[in-house]
Chains A and B, each alone.
Chain A
């Protein structure tokens, strides 16, 4: 992780859309009186989602004003949590490559190499067409299907460098692949097919169990 700074090029203003404003008011109302500041992370997150996946500086002030917090307090939060992107991310895809131990052992660095080659040599830097960006992140909890990447809200698992390239091409051509395992398995079921409990008859018994295969 490196020092996180606000991006030098910032939009002049930021405002929540009417729908998001209404949602924000509901969210704030979930907290007791005087504790509105608790809503700061959901609001910043919604601001980031609204603003092309990254959090601009005016949004920090807007959220601070909504919650009656000092700007510096919201700024602290935005810089503390690395899921808040402080610089523009790819318009089509922001690839978060998991680099924690299981993924690392299963070849995450090869995926990083693909990102460096296809997108930019440094993380958080947009590709030349502005459509892609990447970063290495800590564990995303899909260790059984390592290595994996997260793009927006979906995870793409069981990757190889080739599969990652296919995914990137899919996003580039507007036909993103189906999320989940890219080698066809369901969730984290065995990648080479089932090896135990394969005999269907054990499910068809009449021992009173309701389990059917």
Chain B
């Protein structure tokens, strides 16, 4: 029931379930806090958010009291809250003083300095000096794994990290042991945290107790330039801030996007940044006498032109990789079209999608945010915990809300919520169709790579479409057919129809000898089995570059303004935070320059002209940030697909979460995490 409050003289009407802290914020008051966080449960233990409530003998912790908890006044007049009185000023000073009693004065050597809540709030709400003359408490260092550096003497026991790991990440590994002054935050017996979202606790930590180990002592926040961008490590397209100093990406932090990642990002998204510095291709290379040698752009282009001129267009193929932007895919497709090449494919893992089925057949139709409204979730051939860690957190959040059935078809992975295991292979879908989903009104079928990367993927997709239709996932106001992509480029590629037309060669055929010249645009997960001439355009000296005959150095996602379409079909744009290293160039300009050498000049001289042309070809890419509506009837087209479903289990394909792309493979932190997660998987005999 809405109630009226008078906050510092301003009357405001709020819902009864609102906490006083939220009410004060609605009234435009800033309430300092350490333990309170919007997305975590209420702890009420830092006492920083004290406000004065008329009728209460003492100041109250505003985060832990809701408007309904207030006793109404006798005459029915609105309750009065004061956030600016002398009492509150003194209360805040007192709390600050208590918090600082045991807090070390090591700000000059603390990595949190400059972005520290305690520092900032001590400046605003604290007193100038200290009256404390006893020894300060010192706390043993803890081990939280390779990502989180601890300095627990600085800890103010807000327990945000404990609540995050328990509630959001769903991994009960952090806890507060001991009591009172001796309370310490720790894992169980120096066990590193085994979670894909663990580094978020560092963002939550209001002091410097938890800092990022890989970035320790590297940079101060005020030296960094912040660029808003989008992540490409998985198919979600989480919103990120790229922090740079001079020409280096120093760190990547999450940015708020309620529709996708809320305010979390996975450890891979965050800590892949060192991979952007190492193993980079910074100049063109040409293979001479079996060895790759650095050459000039013109020499590299000449070699390409010579080979392409000498090859019939039906023996040329182009493959686009997992982290290429829509712009370069469009330019490459355009160029290939002008050369008469029909063998183009953006599905390097052998995904079965076909743009002719319609867009709804290959995107996450309900949208990530719709998980919050779903009342049944069926995970098919996917392990969202590693394929889209943030999305898994969202499913867990939904599960915590209650009233939802989660079922799994495929491998029974350890997810962070309980689920019903239906079966491992295709026939389980039939039993599900029989048993139904109870009275679920808004079911979501999340379809992972374990389905669509299989040779019989079409047949399984068709079965899932039938299942979704019969179980009520396809209604006029609800489309629960949700394809979970694990790569950032595929949806844009499909939107641009970067796929072979009938009769043309697909990836597996291109790499196995049917093509004599292969234009490899950042595809590092394929293995070219023939002696074809390979032109590799990409960013890292990885698998693709090793097999290449010509290397054209391109720009990574932090170095170009490129359009990526996430698994929901939402077009998003990265920003240029730094310039590509050395002679490397933005990818579309390389293709544009090459086109001129090939006498097939692409008719755009700047990115805007290219985009205009691209939007004409694929209008859905135009609405940046928006999820364009999809057509449920596209799913009906899937029903007509035919084929036999194999009995092999729908195993998830992404085997090593931390090493799934060239940037991650260049990152030493990802290598460490990968080794750690492998070690965690193998059973250990004794502690």
Chain A residues proximal to chain B, CB less than 8 Å = 1-4, 6, 12, 57, 70-73, 75-76, 79-80
Contacts and interface: CB of A to CB of B under 8 A. Distances in A.
Contact of A2 (B176, B182, B187): B182
Contacts of B188: 70-72, 75
B175 interface: yes
A79 B177 contact: yes
A80 B172 contact: no
Interface residues of B, number: 16
Contacts of A1: 179-180, 182
Given A2-B182, A3-B182, A72-B172, A57 B177 contact: no
A70 B184 contact: no
B265 interface: no
Given A1-B182, A72-B187, A73-B172, 4 more contacts: A1-B179, A1-B180, A2-B182, A70-B188
A73 B686 CA distance: 21
Contacts of A2: 182
Given A1-B182, A4-B182, A70-B172, A80 B177 contact: yes
B178 interface: yes
Contacts of A73: 172, 175
8 contacts: A1-B182, A70-B188, A72-B173, A72-B174, A73-B175, A75-B175, A75-B188, A76-B176
Contacts of B179: 1, 79-80
A6 B180 CA distance: 18
Contacts of A12: 686
A62 to B, nearest CB: 13
B502 interface: no
B56 interface: no
Interface SS, B side: mixed
Contacts of A4: 177-178, 182
Interface string B160-191: 00000000000011111111101010111100
A97 to B, nearest CB: 21
A176 to B, nearest CB: 32
A57 B175 contact: no
Nearest to B171: A70
Contacts of B176: 76
Given A70-B172, A71-B188, A76 B180 contact: no
Contacts of A71: 188-189
Which of A6, A72, A73, A80: most chain B CB closer than 10 A?
A72
A79 B176 CA distance: 9
Contacts of A79: 177-179
A6 B172 CA distance: 20
Contacts of A70: 172-173, 175, 188
Contacts of B172: 70, 72-73
Given A57-B189, A80-B178, A80-B179, A3 B184 contact: yes
Which of A4, A6, A12: most chain B CB closer than 10 A?
A4
Contacts of B174: 72
Contacts of A75: 175, 177, 188-189
A57 B177 CA distance: 14
B687 to A, nearest CB: 8
A76 B177 contact: yes
